[in-house]
Structure formats: structure tokens, C-alpha cells
Structure 1
Amino acid sequence: MGEMLGKDVELDVTGIAHGGISVARLDGRVVFVTDAIPGERVRARITEDRKKSFWRADTVEVLDASPHRQEHVWGAASVDRDPSQRAGGAEFGHIALAHQRELKRQVLIDALSRMAGIDFDVVVEGVPGDDEVGGTRWRTRVRLHVDESGRPGPYAQRSHTVIAVDDLPLATAAVEEAAPLEQRFVGEEHVDVLSPSEGGARLIIGKQARTTVVERVGEREFRLDDGGFWQVHHGAAQTLTAAVQDLIDPALMDPRAMNLDLYGGVGLLAAAVGDRFGQALRITSVESDSRATDHAAENLQEWIGASAVTGRVERWIRELTSTANQGDRERLRQATVVLDPPRSGAGKDVVGRITSASPAQVVYVACDPVALARDIALFQEGGYHLDGIRAFDLFPHTHHLETVVRLTR
């Protein structure tokens, strides 16, 4: 092994894999290849050949292009550049927007079928306004890494090489304008550029003191730390609010039950439930970041029955389910549970605790289709089934997508 490293090979690309990488075969061996589209023939350079089961490669020339190929939306990431010098973060930028969504759909339904045995079709929906601008100008937050000379830029794909760029087409105009691409930040690791709903764009350099920013969703305002978690696409918070409201089955919703918002952040989805089901709602939002929980308490203050708790979800739900009295257990059985876990998913422990509490319905927001499918399989073992699904292209020109599902027992 090792003798193929750096060599160029011709590959027929047959499919798409999770992670935005295409799949080809070379003498029966699987090769994962970047910057290609299923159906293409490409010349690719082998970047990893140590694993017996698969190799990795980067496209260096397109020999037979897909009809879905377009000029890359970001020149800094184009296939014309040396693979080590291509900016990361726009790995689908060479694919027409509608076909990106089709590939994301394939990854999602393949994961559901393979890991959860579910045959459920779904359309990946765009955010209103994205098609008109070709899927650009959506990022309200960008992290620029800093190289040894102090120059900021994105990392190259799957490496820590900082790439010098002179534009940021996925960023909103305000973020691109504020991005200090020509400045130097010697001794810093990264610079964050963000443009919240109010107050204009700003930079966060290194470990400077946090300030509070305001994000608006419809008529509602949310306060959070400038470095705190918020959906990146300018339309994502509104899209997910509407999707969660849509997927909660009102026939199964009891506002006075022990409703839960797990991994609740600053209270976005708890507020979505509150706006749909009114002032009498009882809901507990659980989040491990105490700064976010402080903001959630403020953001949810108009619902007397809403509370924000700081705690690791797995530990908090274990305590809840093991100490619940008869009345609490009954209120949990009537409950709606909303969860929006990190990319790795909720996992066996948390899913097991939720299913043992046997709530009326679970609405799960997921940014990783494979982790979602694995968790759905765990919910199925606990007596729940997939009852509704929507998918959204909240990250155009990347492989990421957001999926919202309803699970009922």
C-alpha cells in the first residue's frame, strides 16, 4: 500500500455518499472522490490509499461532464485550482442548485432505508429567495482561520491550510463587506464575522468579551451572545419555526403536559411551540450552555409555564425519568418532546430515556441525515414510528441539509 499516493487515475463516478463526496470504483475498489458529480468521468489524484476497503481522490480534470455541472459559484474553490488550494465550505458549488437538492434527497432516503428500514420519500425544499440568487448570500456567520502570517481565510477542504480569498459569495453582502480579508491578525487562531438581524455586521477576534445580539424571527426577538449558536442561513430560524409548528400533531398536543425542548439553545423552538399553542403552554427547555440558558429564560419569559434549565441533556433526562412520580409520569406520557441535537445526534442513551417516558409525540430536528436515521432506528426499537418528514436546503452549495421528523408511538 502507499504506491498509488499522488497518482492520477480515470474514474467513472456512480453515486453520492454522505459528506458531499462522490463514489467511484477502480478495479472493484471503492474510491471516494471530491468535486465530481455522479455520471461523470474524471481524472482524479489519489490522496489516500492506505485503507484496504476504500481510497480517496480529488478531481483534477473533468473528462465527461454531467449536464448538472456549472461553473463553481466560488472561484477560490474551482476544480481549475490545485486541490490543496481549493477553499472549503462550498463542496457542492459546481453542481446546479436543483440537482444539489436531488443528491441530498438521495443521501437522506438512502440513510433512512439502510439504517432504519424506512421507505419514505421526501422533497428537499429550498428557502424562499434562494433560487433567485443561485443559492448564494445566505451565511450570516463566517469563521475565518488565520495562518502563520496573520492572514485570514477559509480552510481548504479536509485540511488546516488557510486559503487566501478575495470574496465570500455564500456570505450575506453585509458579512462579505465586513470580512477583513486584507487585514492581518498575527497570533490569533480565527476571526468570526457575523451579521445579526439588528445592529449591523461585527467581528469577534480571539477571546474578546461577549456582547449580546438580537435575532428576529417574524415579529419575535431573540437575544443571544454574539458567539452563541444561531442558525447560519438568514432564513433558517423562520423555516425551522414553521416546520416544527407544522409537524406537531395538534390532536396529540397537550399544552399542559410536561412538554420538553431538548438541546434548546436560546429557546427558538420552544418559542415556536408557544406561538402555535398559546400562553397556557408548559415547556421546559434544556441546554448545557449556561449563557444560552440565561438568554432562553429571557426569550421565553412571556410564557409563565416555560422554563429554561442548564444541564447536559443525557444527565438531565436520566434524572427526570428516574425520579418522576406517578403524576409526572402521566404528564410525560401526554407530552410533546422537541429535540435539536448536535450533528452527532441524540444517541442511544437519550433516545432510550425518551422512549421509556413514552411521550405522545417527538419532533426531531436534525442536521445530519445519517445520525438521524440511526436515531430513528433506536426510536423504532422503543415503539415509535416515523409519521411525518420534511427536509430543507438550509446550506446551499454544501452537502448539509436539515431534516425535521415527527415520531409517534
Structure 2
Amino acid sequence: MTDSPTAPVVELSVGPVAHGGHFVSRLEGRVVFVRHALPGERVRVRLTEHDDAARFWRGDAVEVLEASDDRREHVWAPADALAAHAAGRLPAGGAEFGHIVLPRQRGLKSDVVAEHLARTAGLDAADVGFEGVEAVPGEDADGLGWRTRMAFAVSAAGRPAMHAHRSDRLVEISGMPLATAGIQDSALWEVDLSGFERVEVAAPAAGGQLLVLLVPAEGTAPAAAQRQARRVAQGLGTDASVALLAQADGPAADGRGALQRVSGRTWLRETVEVAAPGAPYEYRVTGEGFWQIHRGAPALLTEAVLDIVAAAPGHRVADLYAGAGLFTRPLAELVGPSGAVLSIEGAPGTSKDARRNLHDHPQARIVQGRVERRLGPALAELPDAGGLDAVVLDPPRAGAGKEAVRRIAAAAPRSVAYVSCDPASFARDAAYLAREGYRLRGLRALDLYPNTHHVEVVGHFAAE
């Protein structure tokens, strides 16, 4: 792999979009996956991976010779590959579609969704009601100001930074236009973060005090980490709560880190307004807990899921990979005291959030563990043991997998609402569900990640 800004540069014609933010080109018969380009363009490409033995190469467009009409000035300068190359540096990773007008971004993402459905699941997108990627209501015209969660590396100078794509190199940044105003306007960009490996920032969608998690650099003594964290907290002032996220048992991101309060509190309050019983819903989400990133995603996804599940009093529903209970809470309201909702979440801290958020709903049973291991036993422990009326699942990017799908099918739900942030793993699991007798009856794709290649899909599966 080559991550030098002086790597070889070649001239290529750009072909169709591929999953992952790349576009397919060819150089003397070899496939080259190019970022920062558009179909139909003629560009000069800096090769970032060009091993002679590799089946394909990778590269960044660094000069446009023939531009697409859908190209625009990049929305975030540090990620602009053209400007970075001219300045002799690498672009920051992220915002890899920031050079493309929003309607074309959504068209490209629609192509990716349809391609994976056809190639992996053998489905025609039109046959399952797919009408293209939808914008979030009220979205900014440039696709900015939507991220309520951010994670940054820390440079040697103690500044927020991002890694270059598939590289250990860091690019210092002084702002993040994709983030909500609470993050963008904070003092984070001016605070000395020396002594920390990573900083994670979360902002309530409705506004209010930020929560900043600091991950100490490897080998930092606990007392030194506390002193450094207090210094950061003082720099941030009253605009943010600060906590330390130690990595005693593994990567902090897996939910096993030890969360230590430094100032303020270690959790946020999120509010979700939807047209459902008991709304608006309030959720407590701890710093390391999972919550949807786009400010409009919680309400939009909740409405989509409830439309599919059609939960009613007395129903039995499982909410798998349930997070802090975003879907569990309205489902518990809908099934009422005569029904049951089973929540299964793998991350211990996030499962504790769900327990707190559902503490006054006895019809909700909160289980922590892996879905493929806990679903069967947990169902057997519900009152009037039996199957399920419906299942909701929102797995991580890797998807649910064959064994989890098999366990879901064994519970014989009439419908399954599948929320996914990756069309490739969704299509794979759609094929697994088809083998278990579940047909994809409807599919929506939501643009919850503007200016990136990511897209959220919501599938409605029904028993045949």
C-alpha cells in the first residue's frame, strides 16, 4: 500500500459506482477503484495501492480533465482530494461524496442498493417497491449539519484529526461542517488534546450540552489521564460534559470500556417525536452507547419500522440489536400490558441504557448478549411461551448473519422489519431470509449520511 502524496499518477476514464465510495476504472485491463471522481469523467489518479500482484488497484482522483455536470466544489476542504494533491498532502477520510451534488449522490446510492439486491439476493429492485434513495425531510440543501456523533483521532500537536483513507497518516482539522451546530461551534477545535488517542463527541439532536469522551493514549497512568482530562474540561467550559473512556478490556468502541466521569454527566437525554402512543419518547444514552447519527434518523426510522410491524395490543415482538431501546419503547406502548417485547443487545453499556429507558414497562424484557445465542432461550422465558408476531432488527454493519436469521425464522414471525446501514450485508441476509421462507415485500432507502457513500435501508419481509 502507498499512502504518499507523491505516489504514481495515471490518466483514467471513470466508470460506474461501486460500493464503498469508489468508481470503477480500468488501466490496461486491471480494475482500479477510484475515489473522488464521477462516472463519465476523465481524471488523473494518484495510485494509493498498486502492488503488481494485486487483482485490483486503488487511487484518488487528483485532477479533473473532463468534469461531470454533477461535480461541485467540495463541501469540506480537508477531504478535497484535488486541493490536497495540489498542496502535497493526503485528503482526510470521510465526506467522500462531498464533491457531488446531492441529487446525484442519491442516484449513485440507489444504483448500489439495486446492484446488491440483484447480484446477491437475486431480486429486482422495482419488484420490491424500491423507488430510490429518499432525502430526510428538512435536510440542508448542501447536506450539512446532520451529524450528532463524531469521533476524531488526535494529532501529535494535540489537535483533532482524521485518518487519510486506508492510512495511518493523520490530517489535522479545525471544523466539521457535517456536524450539528453544537459540535461545529464548540471550543473543541481550540482545546489542547495532548495525551489522548481519540476523542468522541455527542450532541443531543434538540440541542444542549455536549458529551465529550476522551480515550487516553496507550500507557498513560490513570492519575495523569485524570489531570489531562480536567484540563480539557476546563478548556471546553460549561458547553460540555467530559468523561474518560479507558480501554482496560479491549477497544473502547465495543462497549466494554470503563467510563469515568470528569465533569458534568456521562449520558445524554434524547427526545423522539413520532405519531404513536406515549410520544414524545425520552431516552437516556450513555457516552459509549449506540444512537443513530443523523439528527432526523431516530424519528424517521421509528415511523418506518412501526409501519411494517403494525404492532397491536397482545402482540409478541422481538427487537434485536436493540441499542438503547429506540424501537423497543414505542413497541412496548403498542403491545400494551397484555403483550411482550423482547429486547436483545450485545453491548453491555447500551443494554443497561435500554433497561433504564424501559424500567416502567414490565411488558419489555431486556436481555444482553448475542442474538444467535440468546433469542431462543429468551423466548422460552416469556409468558405463554411460543412464537412471535414480528421481529425488528437493526444489526451493525456486518449484518445479522446466517445463524441469527435461522433463529429468527424459528420463532415464525409473520413479518420482519430489517434496518441496515450496509446494502451488501442486507442483500446477503435477504437471501438467507428467502431460504427460510421470508419474501422481501418492500424496501426503502434513506439518505441518513449525506456527502458520504453510506445509505440506510429498511426492508419489510413477510412469511410466505
* From 83, 105, 109, the counterpart of 1:100: 105
TM norm structure 2: 0.81
Alpha-carbon RMSD across the aligned residues, in angstroms, is 2.3
Does the 8 A contact of 1:244 with 1:363 survive in 2?
Answer: yes
Does the 8 A contact of 1:153 with 1:181 survive in 2?
Answer: no
Inter-partner Cα distance in structure 2 for 1:324 and 1:286: 13
Cα deviation digits, residues 339-373 of structure 1 (max 9, x gap): 11010000011011112232211111000000000
Matching residue's letter, 2:39: P
Partner of 2:289: 228
Give the match's secondary structure for 1:70.
coil
Give the match's secondary structure for 2:416.
strand
Matching residue's letter, 2:436: G
Partner of 1:90: 95
The answer to whether residue 124 in structure 2 is matched with residue 124 in structure 1 is no
Matching residue's letter, 1:163: V
The equivalences for 1:207-356 within 5 A come to 207-208=244-245, 209=260, 211-218=266-273, 219-248=280-309, 250=310, 253=311, 255-278=313-336, 280-320=338-378, 328=385, 331-332=386-387, 334-356=388-410
Give the match's secondary structure for 1:397.
coil
Matching residue's letter, 2:294: H
Give the match's secondary structure for 2:424.
helix
Give the match's secondary structure for 1:61.
strand
Matching residue's letter, 2:330: A
Cα deviation for residue 92 of structure 1 reads 0.4
Cα deviation for residue 275 of structure 1 reads 4.6
Cα deviation for residue 317 of structure 1 reads 2.2
Inter-partner Cα distance in structure 2 for 1:394 and 1:21: 19
Inter-partner Cα distance in structure 2 for 1:267 and 1:237: 11
Matching residue's letter, 1:71: E
Does the 8 A contact of 1:366 with 1:402 survive in 2?
Answer: yes
Matching residue's letter, 1:290: P
Does the 8 A contact of 1:247 with 1:388 survive in 2?
Answer: no
Partner of 1:40: 41
In structure 2, the CA distance between the partners of 1:320 and 1:278, relative to structure 1 (3 Å rule), is closer
Cα deviation for residue 32 of structure 1 reads 0.1
The answer to whether residue 434 in structure 2 is matched with residue 380 in structure 1 is yes
Does the 8 A contact of 2:289 with 2:353 survive in 1?
Answer: no
* From 200, 203, 208, the counterpart of 2:209: 200
Partner of 1:19: 20
Inter-partner Cα distance in structure 2 for 1:320 and 1:266: 18
Partner of 1:405: 459
Inter-partner Cα distance in structure 1 for 2:331 and 2:322: 12
Matching residue's letter, 1:156: A
Give the match's secondary structure for 1:268.
coil
TM norm structure 1: 0.92
In structure 2, the CA distance between the partners of 1:138 and 1:177, relative to structure 1 (3 Å rule), is same
Shifted more, 308-317 versus 364-373: the winner is: 308-317
In structure 2, the CA distance between the partners of 1:224 and 1:202, relative to structure 1 (3 Å rule), is closer
Cα deviation for residue 220 of structure 1 reads 1.2
Unmatched 5+ residue regions in structure 2?
216-243, 246-259, 274-279
Inter-partner Cα distance in structure 1 for 2:308 and 2:444: 8
Inter-partner Cα distance in structure 2 for 1:317 and 1:277: 19
Unmatched 5+ residue regions in structure 1?
none
The equivalences for 1:351-362 within 5 A come to 351-362=405-416
Cα deviation digits, residues 155-208 of structure 1 (max 9, x gap): 222223221222211011110112522332222101122211454223222235
